[in-house]
């Protein structure tokens, strides 16, 4: 089994690259999806968040109010770090469980672990290769504004909560430049996939 750690930043196009790799035959494990499972009502991570921030972060159905939570953590780095400290261990252990299940049924599998905070969380050792989806910061801002219908200041605030992609580039094994067309991105993914055996030796 070979594990690709797919990372990037908000509005960088990471999900697009993940889908392209899945279409090539990779197994996709999405850290955001695992994180959503980790904070379902009654789960240990959910309880820790409620104990920490109180019931004001809950919706009437007891699910987390994601908009409210984002408002709290994106404006306070220490709170974002605390949230990550609560959620990451549960996500990491679930990833390892799922990876073992895939390995048992397909020992030669290529697994793509789609994880935005791979580098920030120091989880590079969990993967065999770090694949970064890169766009310039200005492109991120514009795409985020367009995608979420938010003001520039709000987009920049969200970006400030993340490690700059320029920093992540220094720690990536392979970079997909996603500032161009979908066809250009797909070409880069195709080239990477076709040469994957050079990384697995």
Residue 63 phi, psi (nearest 5): -75, 155
Distance, C-alpha 5 to centroid of its chain: 9
Q: Residues 108, 96: contact at Cβ < 8 Å? A: no
**201 lies in a domain?**
no
Instruction: Find the CATH number of the domain harbouring 53.
Output: 3.40.50.300
Which pLDDT tens digit goes with each residue over 164-196?
999 999 999 999 999 999 999 999 999 999 999
pLDDT, tens digit (0-9, with 9 covering 90-100), for 61-90 = 999 999 899 888 877 889 988 998 999 889
Domain-located, residue 47: yes
Of 165, 169, 173, the residue nearest 5 (C-alpha): 173
35 falls within a domain: yes
Q: Average pLDDT of 149-178?
A: 91
DSSP string, 111-124: EEEE-TTTTTTT-G
Asked whether 147 and 23 are in contact (CB, 8 A), the reply is no
Asked if residue 19 belongs to a domain, the reply is yes
Structural domains counted in the chain: 1
Expressed as residue numbers, the domain containing 93 is 2-196
């Amino acid at each position: 089994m070979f594990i690709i750690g797919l990372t990037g930043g908000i509005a960088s196009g990471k999900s697009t690259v993940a889908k392209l790799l899945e279409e090539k035959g990779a197994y996709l494990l999405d850290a955001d999806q695992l994180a959503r499972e980790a904070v379902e009502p009654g789960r240990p991570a959910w309880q820790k968040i409620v104990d920490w921030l109180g019931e004001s972060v809950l919706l009437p159905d007891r699910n987390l109010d994601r908009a409210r939570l984002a408002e709290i953590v994106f404006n306070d780095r220490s709170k974002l770090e605390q949230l990550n400290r609560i959620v990451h261990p549960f996500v990491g252990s679930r990833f390892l469980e799922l990876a073992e299940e895939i390995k048992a049924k397909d020992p030669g599998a290529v697994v793509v672990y789609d994880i935005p905070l791979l580098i920030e969380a120091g989880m590079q050792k969990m993967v065999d290769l770090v694949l970064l989806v890169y766009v310039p910061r200005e492109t991120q801002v514009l795409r985020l504004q367009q995608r979420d219908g938010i003001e520039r200041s709000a987009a920049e605030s969200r970006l400030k909560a993340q490690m700059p992609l320029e920093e992540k580039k220094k720690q990536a094994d392979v970079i997909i430049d996603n500032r161009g067309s979908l066809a250009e991105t797909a070409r880069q993914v195709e080239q990477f996939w076709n040469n994957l055996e050079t990384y697995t030796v």
